[in-house]
Amino acid sequence: MNQQFNTAILPLAGRIMMAAIFVLSGTGKIANPGATLGYIHAMGLPFPELALAGAIGIEVIGGLLLVAGLHTRPVALALAGFSVVTGLVFHSAIADQNQMIHLMKNLAMAGGLLQIAAFGAGSLSLDARRTTKALRAA
């Protein structure tokens, strides 16, 4: 593969794929908050309405920022932490194979997000554009 593909297309495709689950999940919570509130209540978490609002915010806003490649490293770290915490809280019944798969999915997402945090958004991102603009101004 050529360098342009590796530094531009692959990171962009990865960000879009990683963000899709967050944006879709967050918009699903907006469309049907009652189901999520019920799930939060069932897990015994305090302040379910606040938890719902926080989840929607981090999923939708974080997902969109990830796609755009804006503040990518801290956003990826926040989404990775969110993925680990929600996996451990909501999918900890690992004797149930379905819950184990969901937990492993969350951990795999967190791993991918840590790669994004470590290596950045790539050249097709607002972060790269801001860096280039700052270098030209200096």
The residue behind tokens 């342009």 is 4
- The tally of domains found in the chain comes to 1
pLDDT tens track for 60-117? 999 999 999 999 999 999 999 999 999 999 999 999 999 999 999 999 999 999 999 9
What is the C-alpha to C-alpha distance for residues 88 and 30, in angstroms, rounded to an integer? 23
Contact at 8 Å (CB) between 53 and 83?
no
Global model pTM greater than 0.95 = no
| Structure token digits, residue 111 | 């791993």
For residue 31, pLDDT beyond 80: yes
Contact at 8 Å (CB) between 94 and 100?
yes
- Domain range enclosing 111: 3-137
Q: What is the average pLDDT value for the chain, to the nearest integer?
A: 95
Q: Name the burial class of residue 90, with classes exposed (0-12), middle (13-18) and buried (19+) by CB atoms within 10 angstroms of its CB.
A: middle
